[in-house]
Structure 1
Amino acid sequence: MKRMLPEVLNIVRRYETNNPNELAERIGIDVNYVNLSYFQKMYGMKAAYMKAGPFKSIIISKALSANERNVALAHELGHIFLHHGGYHWMDFHLLSREEKKTKELNANKFAFLLISHTCLRNRPSMIDGIRDEKVLTIEDTTRLLAELSIFDCFAAGQQDTLEDHEWMCKI
């Protein structure tokens, strides 16, 4: 698969947000929080994308924390954007173990890239600056997220303008 960061950044630019809730709304997908305890226990399912004709919905377990809900929503959006509208439940059972693993890992990567820019997203010049940067290692990424408190910022819904945080553009 080609590098995912430019693809995620193009989505952020096109829809003018990287907030998973806003993104779902802008592409016409309802998000519903429901009791998925049976499916979570039996299949490990915490969220799912469903499509029936013109009706499109993502369901997410209401038992998840706010941060987990945002990650689950971003993950399902990853399936939609990366797998051209998601895939059918029955198709998922026909995929090989390796194909399932690849699709799930790609959706996780999409979710991470989408959410990690929440607190850094308000200036197009910032997005343009990130596009050509090197790919960070997992260790670099973990360290930077901890230093920048990205998930805390995302969970709080902060919308920094970055006027005082120009150094973040050098990541």
Structure 2
Amino acid sequence: MYWYNPFKKYTIYASVLLLLGSSYACNKPEIKETGAELKYFDLKGYFEKEATRLTALNPQVDKSVAHNAETESKNVRIGSWKKELNLFTESDINKPAWKLSYDVQTNADSTVYAAKYPELKTRRIVIRKKAGQVSEIAIVNNTHNILYNTTEKLQYAPGNYYRIEKTQKVKVMGGNSYMIKGKF
């Protein structure tokens, strides 16, 4: 025999509403969506534009990849510039919680952002300009804890090259170094 349970229907509705509400709460709005002014150079926006520009150009790249002492070089076309430049994009420091976390030093041809606190992953960003245009971006990232230490050195010169150097030291397993260099 079929038993009607009115609470079962309401439990399902409440569960769906709770799930939708919690997923909405987990989506933090980007700083651009809130209308807030960016405190620092818009690294994320810059590299998103560069990825779009390079995708449209589809340039031939002399790419070298090295792991420890082994190096391999090829002349390639990059399939996804967004993925290729992802480490640069992830180094963006325009998070609302970090708006007072970096010292800024501006000169005639460069701007340097230096982390005030050791727990910040992005330690330093140097943006060099010529004639008002970005000529080079250099970034140093560092992550460390009891088990490992990772350092990334990123360089990007539009129309010239990009370089990613990464060293990892894991307590029990030892160290590794990686290098990716692309020359346009």
TM-score range, shorter chain: under 0.3
What TM-score results when the alignment is normalised by the length of structure 1? 0.27
The structure in which a higher percent of residues are strand is: 2
What TM-score results when the alignment is normalised by the length of structure 2? 0.25
The structure in which a higher percent of residues are helix is: 1
User: RCO (CA 8 Å, sep 6+): is it higher in 1 or 2?
Assistant: 1
